[in-house]
């Protein structure tokens, strides 16, 4: 791999051991994937931030790091709201360990915005190269924004944040971003809510795997694209998808719509994902709610009182910008938490049946929370939580 003189010095240990190890990681990754060079990135998003997922060995590794990130970097959700963790019922010992993890990242210069929706914080735009780790964020950045990132592991994203570069391979290269499988739906007009698109992504992702799908015949909005991509990233390993005339790269003259294979998804399969099971709790905001979703939820909950625990998750910056919506939601008894989520927090482990409005949460709640999951629209979640 061709390295700049300064990168060679970093690799030789002239800028300290942590940077040397991070450069070794990037160069090793580049060699495995056939990259010829490192390219600068404009931001990083680091996963492996919840103590529930990284545990004591991850914390040990972080404690040894001695460097600063050189590009804007945010964290994936951690295991609790940093300010309201007691209200969430987080045990003291977990909170203490989680705080250590957060402090370790803070020492590296990472901004304490812990979210899987960093794109709501205006840290990226079309065409930029990134090193993001969280699968739904990667899918949204590549597909909806038209930025370019591989689906990084947590350590690789951190290494890229510290070096400010990432190996040039995979989805950083335009020719690798063309679709290789088509997806059509038999009754696309039946797809109305973000949960419908989440369920579609949940079904389609299983057949797509890690390929790049090209959807035709649907016109999802940004929240619906977010829900569909997150679900495909979870039930499959999708890191980029295209929707004809909707996602930006399909409007390129060089975009090729020919695909060797097309998958047909029926609305009957999508409807089958929905159930009417009784639940113990409701959780929305996977991925974290957009400003529009927060406002819609506030409208739905106004004048109502929840009778079941109702967890709402969003980025701290989004919450701060919408105080009236948050007040309206919390007046119903629902709780709006920042920094964390249904899957990476231990707060929801105490429930056996959880209702969500997300295809991704539907895929992960059984394994990560040990609960049965039910999917419904945002309005259905409100109905169930207030009945």
Residues that bind ligand F3S in the complex, under the rule CB under 6 A: 76-77, 116, 134, 136, 230, 286-288, 313, 341, 343-344, 360-361, 364
In the complex, minimum distance from the CB of residue 165 to ligand F3S, in angstroms, rounded to a whole number: 25
By beta-carbon proximity to ligand F3S, the closer residue of 169 and 313 is 313
Secondary structure of residue 13 in the 3-state scheme: coil
Q: Give the span between the Cα atoms of 22 and 28, in whole angstroms.
A: 10
By beta-carbon proximity to ligand F3S, the closer residue of 202 and 364 is 364
Q: Are residues 128 and 147 in contact, defined by beta-carbon separation less than 8 angstroms?
A: yes
Cα–Cα nearest to 110, from 196, 43, 18, 27:
43
Q: Are residues 118 and 74 in contact, defined by beta-carbon separation less than 8 angstroms?
A: yes
In the complex, minimum distance from the CB of residue 290 to ligand F3S, in angstroms, rounded to a whole number: 12
By beta-carbon proximity to ligand F3S, the closer residue of 38 and 54 is 54
By beta-carbon proximity to ligand F3S, the closer residue of 134 and 152 is 134
In the complex, minimum distance from the CB of residue 365 to ligand F3S, in angstroms, rounded to a whole number: 9
Q: Are residues 129 and 41 in contact, defined by beta-carbon separation less than 8 angstroms?
A: yes
In the complex, minimum distance from the CB of residue 256 to ligand F3S, in angstroms, rounded to a whole number: 30
β-bridge partners, 167: 38
In the complex, minimum distance from the CB of residue 341 to ligand F3S, in angstroms, rounded to a whole number: 3
In the complex, minimum distance from the CB of residue 137 to ligand F3S, in angstroms, rounded to a whole number: 8
CA 332 to chain centre: 27
Q: Give the span between the Cα atoms of 160 and 70, in whole angstroms.
A: 9
**Measuring CA to CA, how many Å separate 188 from each of 181, 196, 220, 263, 267?**
18, 10, 10, 14, 8
Q: Which residues contact 136 (CB under 8 A, 6 or more apart)?
A: 116, 226, 229, 230, 233, 234, 287, 360
């Amino acid at each position: 791999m061709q390295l700049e003189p300064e990168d060679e010095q970093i690799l030789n240990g002239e800028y300290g051991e942590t940077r040397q190890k991070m450069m070794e990681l990037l160069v090793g990754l580049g060699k495995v994937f056939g990259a010829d060079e490192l390219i600068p990135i404009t931001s990083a998003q680091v996963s492996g931030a919840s103590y529930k997922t990284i545990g004591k060995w991850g914390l040990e590794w972080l404690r040894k790091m001695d460097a600063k990130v050189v590009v804007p970097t945010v964290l994936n959700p951690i295991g609790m709201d940093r300010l309201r963790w007691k209200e969430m019922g987080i045990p003291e010992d977990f909170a203490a360990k989680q705080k250590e993890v957060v402090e370790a990242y803070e020492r590296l210069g990472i901004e304490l915005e812990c979210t899987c929706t960093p794109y709501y914080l205006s840290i990226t735009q079309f065409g930029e190269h990134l090193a993001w780790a969280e699968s739904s964020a990667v899918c949204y950045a590549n597909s909806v924004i038209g930025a370019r990132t591989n689906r990084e592991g947590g350590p690789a994203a951190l290494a890229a944040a510290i070096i400010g570069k990432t190996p040039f391979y995979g989805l950083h290269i335009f020719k690798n971003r063309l679709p290789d499988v088509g997806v059509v739906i038999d009754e696309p007009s039946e797809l109305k809510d973000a949960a419908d698109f989440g369920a579609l992504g949940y079904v389609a992702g299983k057949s797509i795997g890690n390929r790049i799908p090209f959807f035709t015949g649907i016109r999802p909005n940004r929240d619906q694209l977010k829900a569909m991509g997150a679900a495909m990233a979870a039930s499959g390993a999708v890191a980029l998808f295209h929707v004809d005339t909707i996602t930006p790269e399909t409007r390129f003259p060089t975009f090729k719509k020919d695909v060797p294979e097309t998958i047909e998804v029926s609305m009957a399969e999508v409807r089958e994902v929905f159930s009417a099971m009784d639940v113990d709790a409701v959780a929305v905001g996977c991925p974290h709610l957009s400003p529009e979703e927060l406002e819609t939820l506030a409208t739905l909950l106004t004048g109502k009182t929840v009778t079941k625990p109702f967890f709402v998750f969003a980025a701290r910056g989004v919450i701060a910008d919408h105080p009236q919506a948050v007040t309206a939601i919390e007046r119903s008894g629902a709780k709006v938490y920042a920094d964390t989520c249904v899957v990476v927090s231990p707060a929801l482990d105490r429930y056996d049946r959880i209702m969500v409005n997300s295809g991704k949460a539907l895929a992960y709640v059984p394994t990560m929370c040990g609960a049965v999951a039910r999917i419904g629209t945002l309005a259905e979640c409100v109905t169930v939580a207030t009945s």
